[in-house]
Amino acid sequence: MNADPRFEGEGPDEVFASALAEGRFIIQRCRACSQTRHPPALACSSCGSPDITWIAASGAGEVYSTTTVRERERSYNVAIVELVEGARLMSRVEGIAPEGVRIGLKVTARIAPEPEPHVVFEPAGDAP
């Protein structure tokens, strides 16, 4: 086999999902330019380098944008959260009425187990 050894092992989606299943929220960081990204991929979206590593996400972030999805029976939040590390992800802010989620709200991540492990957020305890 002459495959390039730099790309050995599981692909980034699998690495992320496996970590999440073990209770760890990890994100990618470029070794060349330090940019973080999520969802993960094989190269840095900022500088193009394929030299990427994984770091533990602190879980701290703030709401970048937010919407309340209205259904007959219920309403729920969908948000984009910007992590303090820089990467953004789609998620949901819980523990607060969906309409109460505001852009700029400080939030903290936790891993929701069902139906598949996924990252959700709650208002940060020490929010100003």
Partner 1 sequence: MTSPLRGQTAIVGVGNTRRWNAPGRTPFDQAQEAAILALEDCGLGLQDVDGLFCAISSSGLPVLNMAEKLGIRPRHADGTMVGGASFLFHLQAAASALVHGLCDVALIVYGSNQLSAGGRLVSMPDPQPYEAPYKPRYPISSYALAAARHMHLYGTTREQLAEVALAARGWANLNPDAFARGPLTREELLASRMISDPLTKADCCLVTDGGAALVLTRADRARDLKSKPAYVLGTGTSVSHRQIAAMPDLATSAAVESGRRAYAAAGLGPRDVDHVMVYDAFTITTLMFLEDLGFCAKGEGGSLVASGAIAPGGSLPVNTNGGGLSCNHPGMYGLFTVIEAVEQLRGACGERQVEGCEIALAHGNGGVLSSQATAILGTGAAL
The minimum distance between CB 115 and partner 1, in angstroms, equals: 8
Tell me: cis bond preceding 5? Omega within 30 of 0 counts.
no
Q: One symbol per residue from 27 to 46: x for binding partner 1 (CB under 8 A), - otherwise; what is it?
A: -----------xx-----x-
The answer to whether residue 91 forms part of the interface with partner 1 (CB under 8 A) is: yes
Q: Given the rule CB under 8 A, which of 4-12, 25-33, 50-58, 108-116 is the region that contacts partner 1?
A: 108-116
Closest CA to 79 of 117, 114, 113, 106: 106
Q: Closest by alpha carbon to 119, among 107, 101, 127?
A: 107
67 binds partner 1 (CB under 8 A): yes
Q: Which of 65, 97, 100, 113 binds partner 1 (CB under 8 A)?
A: 65
Give the rounded distance of the alpha carbon of 12 from its chain centre: 13
**Shortest distance, position 92 Cβ to partner 1, whole Å:** 5
Q: Give the shortest CB-79-to-partner 1 separation in angstroms.
A: 8
How far the first Cα of the chain sits from its last, in Å, is 56
- ∠ Cα 16 20 24 (to 5°): 105
How many CB atoms are closer than 10 A to CB 89? 21
Q: Which residues bind partner 1 (CB under 8 A)?
A: 13, 38-39, 45, 64-70, 76, 78-80, 88-92, 99, 103, 112, 115-116, 118
